[in-house]
Each structure stands twice: as structure tokens, then as C-alpha cells.
């Protein structure tokens, strides 16, 4: 393993530990010592790789969103059917909440920072752009192939993401409010109903 590989792995180890700490203690309540203990490294190692807590937090935010984007593309890129691609997009985005609650909770903790930290707002906005673009490409493809009615793809993508975020937040606040699997299927059907000819 090269020195660069070791450094990249160590940074990932610290970022993963930070995600765990945010999920456990909350954005404002974890310390660098908590991260060091969770990662099994010294605080000095953390400061070697990250300038400060804000620098570390930006890396965490990037990792959370990049992981979701990577899963989306891995599952969607080999599919030719736009309808199936959009179903996968919706399913994966909804499943992130259930299967990796800590990631979504970390994301929510970051949302609380957008009024205090411009950099956080910009990073979150950048990732929402990527999600909308991914979704929009599928909708455009579906319109061209005659599988979807003509809609404004970027706006419809915003609607899809808003529905996913809204349902996810309600479920995170109260897991008993509805059956998540059943609701996920209904959401997919309702979204598709607005697109199918």
C-alpha cells in the first residue's frame, strides 16, 4: 500500500468515525476526542489530516452525499429503461433513510448549519443539484423514449426529492407514523402516475 493509499484510508477512517459520533452525540455535542476514540487514533492524527472541526465536517458532508450518489449510479447506469431507472432512484433515496439512518441524521444536523455557515449551505446545495441532475436525466430520457409525458424535468426532479425528504423526515421523527415499506411503494406509484402517459 502506498503512502497516498494509507493517507486516504486514514482520512476515511476518521470521517467514518465522525459520522458515528454525529449520529450518537449530535452535530454540536461531539468532540474531536470522541472522534479520536471512535477511530482508534490520536487527536494529533486527526489534526494532521484536517485543519479543524469545520474542515472535517465538510469532508463528512461530502462523504455522506457521495456515498449516496455512488450507490445511485452503480445501480442505475446499467439499466436502459427510464421507468425502471426512476424507480431505482426513488427506492435508493428512500432506502438510505431506513438502511443508514445515521447518514440521514447527519445530513439533518448539517441542515441546521445552513444559516450560520455559508460553506455548509453551498455544499448541501451542490449535492442537491447533483441529485436533481441525475433524476432529470432519467426523466428526459423517458420523455424522449415516449415512456413519460412531457414535464419540466428539473422541476419534477425537485418535486420527487421534496417528497422523499418530507416522508423520510416524518418517519425519522416517529417510526410508527406509517409502514415505511408500504409508504415507499405508494410514493413510487404516485410519482410515476404523474409521469406515465
- Could you tell me the CATH number of the domain that includes residue 15? 1.10.10.60
- Spans in the chain with pLDDT lower than 70: 100, 102-104, 106
- Say whether both 17 and 77 belong to one domain: no
- Say whether both 32 and 59 belong to one domain: no
pTM: 0.81
Q: What radius of gyration do the chain's Cα atoms show?
A: 19
Mean residue pLDDT across the chain: 88
Residue 71: the pLDDT is 83
Residue 103: the pLDDT is 65
Residue 102: the pLDDT is 65
- Say whether both 76 and 109 belong to one domain: yes
- Say whether both 20 and 76 belong to one domain: no
List the domain range (segments joined by +) for residue 96: 52-193
- Say whether both 25 and 59 belong to one domain: no
- Say whether both 27 and 78 belong to one domain: no
**CA 23 to the chain's CA centroid:** 14
- Say whether both 91 and 80 belong to one domain: yes
- Say whether both 89 and 150 belong to one domain: yes
- Say whether both 32 and 94 belong to one domain: no
- Say whether both 41 and 87 belong to one domain: no
- Helices 53-76 & 101-111 angle (0-180, nearest 10): 130
In whole angstroms, what is the distance from residue 1 CA to residue 11 CA? Answer: 15
Given a contact cutoff of 8 angstroms between Cβ atoms, the answer to whether 68 and 106 are in contact is no
How many domains in the chain? 2
- Say whether both 3 and 61 belong to one domain: no
- Say whether both 136 and 157 belong to one domain: yes
* CATH number reported for the structural domain that contains residue 184 in this entry: 1.10.357.10
| 97-103 CB contacts, 8 Å cutoff, 24+ apart | 97/168, 97/171, 97/172, 97/180, 98/171, 98/180, 101/23, 101/172, 102/19, 102/20, 102/22, 102/23, 103/19, 103/64, 103/67, 103/68
Amino acid at each position: 500500500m502506498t503512502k497516498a493509499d494509507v493517507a486516504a484510508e486514514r482520512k476515511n477512517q476518521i470521517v467514518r468515525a465522525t459520522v458515528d459520533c454525529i449520529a450518537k452525540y449530535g452535530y454540536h455535542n461531539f468532540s474531536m476526542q470522541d472522534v479520536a476514540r471512535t477511530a482508534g487514533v490520536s487527536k494529533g492524527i486527526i489534526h494532521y489530516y484536517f485543519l479543524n472541526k469545520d474542515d472535517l465536517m465538510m469532508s463528512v458532508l461530502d462523504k455522506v452525499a457521495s456515498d449516496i450518489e455512488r450507490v445511485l449510479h452503480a445501480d442505475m447506469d446499467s439499466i436502459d429503461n427510464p421507468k425502471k431507472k426512476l424507480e431505482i432512484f426513488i427506492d435508493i433515496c428512500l432506502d438510505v433513510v431506513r438502511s443508514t439512518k445515521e447518514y440521514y441524521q447527519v445530513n439533518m444536523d448539517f441542515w441546521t448549519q445552513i444559516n450560520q455557515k455559508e460553506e455548509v449551505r453551498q455544499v448541501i446545495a451542490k449535492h442537491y443539484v447533483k441529485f436533481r441532475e441525475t433524476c432529470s436525466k432519467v426523466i428526459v430520457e423517458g420523455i424522449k423514449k415516449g415512456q413519460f409525458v412531457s414535464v419540466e424535468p428539473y422541476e419534477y426532479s425537485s418535486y420527487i426529492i421534496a417528497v422523499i425528504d418530507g416522508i423520510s423526515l416524518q418517519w425519522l421523527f416517529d417510526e410508527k407514523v406509517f409502514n415505511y415499506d408500504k409508504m415507499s411503494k405508494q410514493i413510487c406509484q404516485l410519482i410515476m402516475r404523474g409521469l406515465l402517459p
